[in-house]
Amino acid sequence: MKKTIVLGVSGGIAVFKAAQLTSNLIKKGYDVEVIMTQNATEFMTPLTFESLTKHNVMVSTFEKVADRSVKHISLAKRADLFVVVPATANVIAKFVCGIADDMLTTTFLAADCPKVICPAMNTQMYENPVTQRNLKTCKELGYHIVEPASGFLACGDCGKGKLAELSDIEACIDSYFQTNRRLEGKHVLITAGPTQEALDPVRYISNHSSGKMGYELARAAQSMGACVTLISGPSREEAPFGVQLISVQSALDMLEAVKAHYISADYIIKAAAVGDYRVESVAEHKIKKDSEEFTLKLVKNPDILAYLGEHIRKDQILCGFAMETQNLIENAKAKLEKKHCDMIVANNLKTEGAGFGHNTNIVTLIEKEQLQELSIMSKYEVACKILERLAEIREEKGVQ
C-alpha cells in the first residue's frame, strides 16, 4: 500500500525545489498531497503541483471539497509523514506557537504522524536567536529538522540558509519507511575514497578511487538503522543523510581517525583505496622542474586493515576490500587470512562495469570457508548484499 506524504509548501524562493521533490517522491511510489500557503502561490501556482500529484492542492482552510469532508482533518489522518519544504522562519514560528491560521498550519497541528521540517531562508534570519530557539523547540517537540546548507542565496548573501540537498531530504523521508532495520542500534565504521600523499604544497600522489562504493555502503547501513561513521579521503560524493562524516587527506590521517573511532564499532568496513606509499619528506615549497629527471624517495604507509585485524575485539566484524588486476581470488584469500578479516570484497579492475568511478560493481564475497560471486548491480545493491552477509556472519558467531 502506498505511503501518503503530506507536503507543506510555504512562501520562499525554494518552492521550485519542492516541485522537483514532489516529482521525485511520486517516482518512488509515494502518494503526495500538497498544501500551499498563500505566500507560496506567489512563487508558483498550485497547478504545477496538481499536475504532478493528480490531487487538488489545498491553500485555503475554507475551500469547498467534493466529498464535503473537513479537509484539514482528513488529510491529517491520512498522512504517514508530514514534510514542510521549504519551511520559512514565519511558518516555523507558527508551528512552535501552535498557531493555526491557514490550511498548512491547521493541518500540521492536527496531524499526529512524524513531521519533518526543512528550513530555507536568509542567513541572518536563520541565525537570528529567535529562529534558533524555535528550531530547538521543534526538535524538543519531536520534529525532525533537515538542516539547511551553506551557499549562495537568492538574496545575494552567502551563508547558511539554503534548502538542504533534495537527496538528503529524500533520504530522510525514505528512512521513515525503511522496513529492513537489521542494523538497528549497531555502529558501522566505514572508510572510503582515495588518500592524497603530498609531495609539496601543490602536488600529491593519489589513485582513481571516487569513493562511490564506500558512500553507498554508508547510505545502505544508515537506511538499515545503523549509526554510521564514514571516514573519507577527498571525494566529490555527497555524504548520505544522517551519517557522521570525518574528512581526511592522507593515509596517516585516515589511520588516526580509524584509531579514534574503531573501538565503538560493531562492524568495520575498509572500502578506502589507501595509498601504499608516501614521500619520505614533503617539500616545503613547490618543487621546480629544473632537470629532465626527477626522483622521489617513497616510504611505506602503515597498513590500516592489518592494524584493525590485530586490534579488534572478538565481537567486532571486519571486512576489507581487494581490488586486483590479476589472480583476484588467490590474492583476496591471502589478504583475508593475513589481515584477519571476516570477509573480503574482491573485484577485478579490468572487468567491465566494476571498479573505480562506475555506478555499478561486480564483486566476489570471500570468506574462509566460502565465496559468493555477485552479478553486476548498482553499488547501492552491492552495499546491501555486503551488509546483509556481514550481519549473518555476526549471527553465526553468536554475537548479539
Structure confidence by residue, pLDDT tens digits, 112-137: 999 999 999 999 999 999 999 999 99
Active site residues: 155
**pLDDT number for residue 187:** 97
The mean-pLDDT minimum among 192-196, 237-241, 250-254, 255-259 falls in: 237-241
**Amino acid making up residue 20:** Q
CA distance 304 to 255: 6
Please give the average per-residue pLDDT across 11-23, as a whole number. Answer: 95
Place of cell 555477485: 374
CATH superfamily membership of 4-176: Flavin prenyltransferase-like (3.40.50.1950)
CA distance 218 to 232: 11
Contacts of 157 (CB under 8 A, 6+ apart): 122, 123, 124
Structure confidence by residue, pLDDT tens digits, 217-248: 999 999 899 999 999 999 988 888 789 999 99
Mean model confidence pLDDT for the chain: 91
Q: What's the pLDDT band for 68 if we cut at 50, 70, 90?
A: very low
**pLDDT number for residue 306:** 96
- pLDDT above 90 covers what percent of the chain? 73
**pLDDT number for residue 151:** 83
Structure confidence by residue, pLDDT tens digits, 332-342: 999 999 999 99
Please give the average per-residue pLDDT across 259-285, as a whole number. Answer: 96
**pLDDT number for residue 55:** 93
Higher pLDDT, 324 or 116: 116
Q: CA geometry: angle at 85 spanning 81 and 86, to 5°?
A: 155
**pLDDT number for residue 190:** 98
HEC assignment per residue over the chain: CCCEEEEEECCCCCHHHHHHHHHHHHHCCCEEEEEECCCHHHCCCHHHHHHHHCCCCECCCCCCCCCCCCHHHHHHHHCCEEEEEEECHHHHHHHHHCCCCCHHHHHHHHCCCCEEEEECCCHHHHHCHHHHHHHHHHHHCCCEECCCEEEECCCCCEEEEECCCHHHHHHHHHHHCCCCCCCCCCEEEEEECECCEECCCCCEECCCCCCHHHHHHHHHHHHCCCEEEEEECCCCCCCCCCCEEEECCCHHHHHHHHHHHHHHCCEEEECCECCCEEECCCCCCCCCCCCCCCCCCEEECCCHHHHHHHHCCCCCEEEEEEEECCCHHHHHHHHHHHCCCCEEEEEECCCCCCCCCCCEECCEEECCCCEEECCCEEHHHHHHHHHHHHHHHHHHCCCC
**pLDDT number for residue 70:** 56
The mean-pLDDT minimum among 164-178, 184-198, 247-261, 286-300 falls in: 164-178
* pLDDT of 214 strictly over 70: yes
Same fold, 4-176 and 187-396: yes
Please give the average per-residue pLDDT across 127-153, as a whole number. Answer: 92
For the chain, domain boundaries: 4-176, 187-396
**pLDDT number for residue 396:** 93
> What CATH class does 187-396 carry?
alpha beta
CB 208 within 8 A of CB 194: yes
* pLDDT of 356 strictly over 50: yes
Residue 276: Cβ within 10 Å count: 14
